[in-house]
Structure 1
Amino acid sequence: MEAINEAIFLAGLLLLLSILAGRVSSRLGAPLLLVFLGLGMLAGEDGPGRIQFHDFHTAYLMGSMALAVILFDGGLRTPAETFRLARGPAFSLATLGVLVTAVGTGALASFLLGLGWAEGFLVGAIIASTDAAAVFFLLNLRGMALRGRVSATLEVESGLNDPMAVLLTVLAVEMVLTPTGLSLPMLTLEFLQQLIGGAVLGLAGGFLLVWLVNRLDLADGLYPILAVSFSLFIFGGAQAAGASGFLAVYLAGFILGNRRHKADRLIRRFHDGLAWLAQIGLFVMLGLLVTPSRLEPYLLPGGLVAGGLMLLARPLAVFLCLAPFRFTLAERIYVSWVGLRGAVPIVLATIPVLAGVPGADAYFAVAFVVVLLSLLIQGWTVGPAARLLGLLAPPQPDPPTRADVDLPDGSGQLAVFTVARDSEAALRGRGRLLIPETVQMLALIQNGRPVRPEDAVGLQPGDTVLAMGDQEALAVMDRLFGRRVAALQERPAGDFQIQADMPAAAVGGMYGFDTGGKDGDSLADYVRQRLGRTPALGDRVRVGEIDLIVAAMEGDHASLIGIDLTPPTGGLDALRSRWREMRRHIPRRRTPEKPAADAAE
């Protein structure tokens, strides 16, 4: 009994310390996941905590469940527009890209570690996929906005590439243990079963979950429990059926997050906290699993493998897979660099240990060193690399203070807004606001007293507005009541912005470029034609000597176009220009002036 109480106490203490350490590290700019991992190592047998944990079966079980929760939350927060924008490049990276990375890294591992081809390929397969946990959290917690297509590609890729990594890892284990028992038809069939089976079960499960949420009459607190239990059911069922549980649970979350149901806000808020708990628990547990003193012999070879992965194998895979999709050089470099490794490679590294592969402890150690360096080097430079390459999207207005209540029939939401001090609503007044037709303003509270909206003369900062509408329309209201962005001072949006519905020919006449289109084409139409696809936030189009920048979006259409009068000239010149711009913002240390007597000497 005493041991159980001590275990509960230590678990609570580790979670509490993780939250506090994460708060401190965020101010220092350190990757949060690295902090959680380091805290687990400190609590382990080589650290002050002296906790001994070497149970790989438990680690694989708990790690798989935590990843299922994280992937479900990632799918829940992936808008359909983001998925459509990135499905082509993301699927290419998640399949061919993982294979190329595994083969390239495996060849390097064979050469650097003195392994056979099968053993080297096993190392490459373990660390071939980007990690959804690392990508989702590090991209979204940096307080920065990447160009829409780049961010979407990285996030969707990390949600889709786990099936390929699992398949290649299992294949490599079989190659090491039974090198003569493999056949290409069987491998192809297994891959299709993993991919197609995971997709079918995930989509079907997602629609079934939406149906259950809308049909069952439950207490509010039970809807999130229904969602998380169903996500684990989908994950475990798919794995048991020989399909990819990782893909299935991601797609189930995606369907739930993009279909209308009556518990949307309840489920999202619950899963936000649950994903944090899964993330912290996962990395702390993996930190406990490793023994730092045993890593010393693998630091140099693991570092060389990590360098080869980051600088050779991943860039080769990215440039090959993104070649058909018209990504710029800067975008391809960034996608190559932000191939973050995290919990997935460590969890996959337990598979050879559980399968009894000779030398599996060494593969686990190398994978851990690679993850550690990826979080330390790549994770710490996610923001600076985006600024250096000029891939930051135009800043968007902060959402207002808002509380939502889902309507019982799933037809919409009640939203309570607080008018921000420098919002459009406070500056323009209610009569000049463009409010969507599907939104009804029900009540207004000014100076603590209720006022009918039709009787209000204007809106003041701090006023409370009660409105009803669907999610898309309420998102428009977010921009009206939230703080405005001083866009004219933000370089990601260009020197100034104009409305995207202006005639393209007129804008071309003012700035010296030929649109070559019909007279009735708008600037948004022209940008879409030049891109050859649906535009995304932050996309740039070079016309003559200026850049047109997608500065704001409404659905699938650009609503605001930025004009950059002095754009980077492209390639290495662009990098040099960004580097010079960043250096101007770095404070320089002044040399103290010498006393007059010393100067005279």
Structure 2
Amino acid sequence: MGFLDTESTLLLIGVLLLTTVLAGSLSSRFGLPALIGFLGLGMLAGVEGPGGISFDNFVLAQAVGIASLIFILFSGGLDTDWRDVKRVAGPALVMATVGVLISAGVVAISAVFLLGVTPAQAALLGAIIASTDAAAVFAILRSTGLDLHGDVPALIEVESGSNDPMAIFLVGAVLLFMSNPSASPFALAPDFMIQMVMGALIGVGIGFAMPEILKRGGYRQGGLAFVISIAAALIAFGAAELLLGNGFLAAYLAGLVAGNRHYAAKRTVSTFQDGMAWLAQVAMFLTLGLLVTPSQLGPVIVPGLAITAILMFVARPISVFVCLAPFRQFGWRAKVFISWAGLRGAVPIVLATFPIVAGVDGAFAIFNVVFFVVLLSSVIQGPTINWVAKKLAIGDHYDRASARDRALEDVH
């Protein structure tokens, strides 16, 4: 019986993964980010959907989310051209730190007045939804055949790959203050610097080491080269966390450094890690979708609408215009588009599980609000990205058919 149960479980996982990918591809055809299809299928498979699967293990969901983010960030680093990073390093770094802080602060202040929550809960909500996700933006742009001008796409990509550590740090800081109100905010500054520096050092070190191991070991094609790339991502994250660094920053930088070095198995490793990132996205969003009880979203519709409006029309534009003010290569049209392209994705939903695991009062309400905001942001901003870019005249069209084919193959 146990063997049959195992068979049924494996069959169910396989069917869910396949149908989730199909759902994501279908949503992309309608101009929506693939995460809508992934999350939607998870909700349909959940306790209130036709699937009827009862899943409320937030600890396991958090673990799945963290593991998935490691490979998503590592793969994102592998696919990022260092020349793009050098061109936009300054503005991207400012937006990934100061920009996240501004967005979190504006949302937190608004939440106190609009939602009537405590300042601590408002700060937690702001920190959770402060980071952006560019994967959905590029999928939509490719599917609609729009090629953005200048450094705009590079800035969006580098910012999204590097702003997660700041958001994670802010969430941890707020949770610390909630558990220990007497803690001094100034005491966190050294911790933040240590996290960033150690994460960067370990990430760069692993990024240099992985190609050397592949070259010296003669792992030219597939097989063990794939295993080594998986090990590199996990070691970068784990070593950084154990040494008080930021593991997510380490994973991203490890991929970035390795992806810009030359070694025989580079193309196959990059393709494999892209598949790993896809699998991670599918597993993560499916798991997060299973967590959601649709009937509990009703009470958060009004708060969710309010926070989404603040995020899209106030917090994100303020952070973009303030952070990019010193960088004259970005005109007002580019700033408006970058503001609108600040879609929310996987990270906010994963971070929303942290307060629940920590036993914070009102954590389930925060999770539902964050989930609703991510959905609404994707549904509103996703299909209109192309329209906004055309209205602002910051993009040119290329072959739609080939672009659509590339988008379906590479949403990430």
Aligned mates of 1:390, 1:341 — CA distance in 2: 24
Asked if 2 retains the 8 angstrom alpha-carbon contact of 1:70 and 1:133, the reply is: no
Provide the residue aligned with 1:213 in structure 2.
214
Matches for 1:128-207 after TM superposition, within 5 Å: 128-131=130-133, 133-135=135-137, 137-140=139-142, 142-184=144-186, 186-207=187-208
SS in 2 for 1:295: helix
1:18 is aligned to 2:20: yes
Provide the residue aligned with 1:331 in structure 2.
334
Provide the residue aligned with 1:245 in structure 2.
247
Change (3 A) 1:137 1:63: farther
Aligned mates of 2:144, 2:55 — CA distance in 1: 32
Q: Which runs of 5+ in 2 are unaligned?
A: 403-412
Asked if 2 retains the 8 angstrom alpha-carbon contact of 1:98 and 1:161, the reply is: yes
Asked if 1 retains the 8 angstrom alpha-carbon contact of 2:46 and 2:291, the reply is: yes
Aligned mates of 1:81, 1:258 — CA distance in 2: 9
Change (3 A) 1:56 1:250: same
Change (3 A) 1:140 1:215: farther
Deviation at 1:206, TM superposition (A): 0.3
Aligned mates of 2:108, 2:25 — CA distance in 1: 38
Q: Which one has a larger percent helix, Structure 1 or Structure 2?
A: 2
Provide the residue aligned with 1:265 in structure 2.
267
1:348 is aligned to 2:354: no
Q: Which runs of 5+ in 1 are unaligned?
A: 400-601
Matches for 1:11-160 after TM superposition, within 5 Å: 11-131=13-133, 133-135=135-137, 137-140=139-142, 142-160=144-162
Amino acid at match of 1:86: V
Aligned mates of 1:213, 1:137 — CA distance in 2: 31
Deviation at 1:112, TM superposition (A): 1.3
Matches for 1:567-582 after TM superposition, within 5 Å: none
Aligned mates of 1:30, 1:37 — CA distance in 2: 12
Asked if 2 retains the 8 angstrom alpha-carbon contact of 1:198 and 1:248, the reply is: yes
Aligned mates of 1:337, 1:174 — CA distance in 2: 32
Matches for 1:221-232 after TM superposition, within 5 Å: 221-232=223-234
Provide the residue aligned with 1:8 in structure 2.
10
Amino acid at match of 1:359: G
Deviation at 1:330, TM superposition (A): 0.8
Encode CA deviations 1:291-313: one digit per residue, 9 max, x unaligned: 11111111110111111011001
Encode CA deviations 1:125-151: one digit per residue, 9 max, x unaligned: 000111255455445555432124110
Matches for 1:391-470 after TM superposition, within 5 Å: 391-393=394-396, 395=398
Aligned mates of 1:223, 1:338 — CA distance in 2: 35
Deviation at 1:394, TM superposition (A): 6.7
SS in 2 for 1:324: coil
Provide the residue aligned with 1:308 in structure 2.
310
Change (3 A) 1:126 1:318: same
1:361 is aligned to 2:374: no
Structure scoring higher RCO (CA < 8 A, sep ≥ 6) equals 2
Aligned mates of 1:14, 1:34 — CA distance in 2: 15
Aligned mates of 1:136, 1:246 — CA distance in 2: 21
Aligned mates of 2:190, 2:254 — CA distance in 1: 23
Change (3 A) 1:359 1:382: same
SS in 2 for 1:325: coil
Aligned mates of 1:163, 1:251 — CA distance in 2: 12
SS in 1 for 2:182: coil
Aligned mates of 2:42, 2:150 — CA distance in 1: 34
Amino acid at match of 1:206: G
Amino acid at match of 1:82: D
Aligned mates of 2:389, 2:172 — CA distance in 1: 35
Aligned mates of 1:157, 1:62 — CA distance in 2: 24
- Percent identity between matched residues is 46
Provide the residue aligned with 1:375 in structure 2.
378
Amino acid at match of 1:284: L
Aligned mates of 2:13, 2:176 — CA distance in 1: 37
- Which of 1 and 2 has greater Rg? 1
SS in 1 for 2:80: coil
SS in 2 for 1:145: strand
Aligned mates of 1:252, 1:191 — CA distance in 2: 20
Matches for 1:541-580 after TM superposition, within 5 Å: none
Deviation at 1:24, TM superposition (A): 3.0
Encode CA deviations 1:171-213: one digit per residue, 9 max, x unaligned: 11122222112340x2101110121111111101100111111
SS in 2 for 1:390: coil
Asked if 2 retains the 8 angstrom alpha-carbon contact of 1:223 and 1:263, the reply is: yes
Deviation at 1:64, TM superposition (A): 0.8
Deviation at 1:354, TM superposition (A): 1.1
1:289 is aligned to 2:305: no
Encode CA deviations 1:439-486: one digit per residue, 9 max, x unaligned: xxxxxxxxxxxxxxxxxxxxxxxxxxxxxxxxxxxxxxxxxxxxxxxx
Provide the residue aligned with 1:550 in structure 2.
none
Deviation at 1:217, TM superposition (A): 2.5
Aligned mates of 2:190, 2:174 — CA distance in 1: 16
Asked if 1 retains the 8 angstrom alpha-carbon contact of 2:34 and 2:136, the reply is: no
Amino acid at match of 1:292: P
Encode CA deviations 1:147-167: one digit per residue, 9 max, x unaligned: 241101110001111111011
Provide the residue aligned with 1:387 in structure 2.
390
Aligned mates of 1:278, 1:232 — CA distance in 2: 13
Deviation at 1:395, TM superposition (A): 4.3
RMSD: 1.8
Asked if 2 retains the 8 angstrom alpha-carbon contact of 1:133 and 1:279, the reply is: no
Aligned mates of 1:316, 1:397 — CA distance in 2: 33
Change (3 A) 1:252 1:139: farther
Aligned mates of 2:396, 2:110 — CA distance in 1: 36
Amino acid at match of 2:209: L
Asked if 2 retains the 8 angstrom alpha-carbon contact of 1:106 and 1:123, the reply is: yes
Asked if 2 retains the 8 angstrom alpha-carbon contact of 1:148 and 1:393, the reply is: no
SS in 2 for 1:253: helix
Encode CA deviations 1:521-558: one digit per residue, 9 max, x unaligned: xxxxxxxxxxxxxxxxxxxxxxxxxxxxxxxxxxxxxx
Aligned mates of 2:74, 2:289 — CA distance in 1: 23
Q: TM-score, normalised by structure 2?
A: 0.92
Asked if 1 retains the 8 angstrom alpha-carbon contact of 2:134 and 2:156, the reply is: no
Amino acid at match of 1:236: G
Amino acid at match of 2:196: L
Encode CA deviations 1:48-98: one digit per residue, 9 max, x unaligned: 001111111111111111111111111101011111111111101000000
Amino acid at match of 1:385: V
Amino acid at match of 1:336: S
Aligned mates of 1:175, 1:285 — CA distance in 2: 29
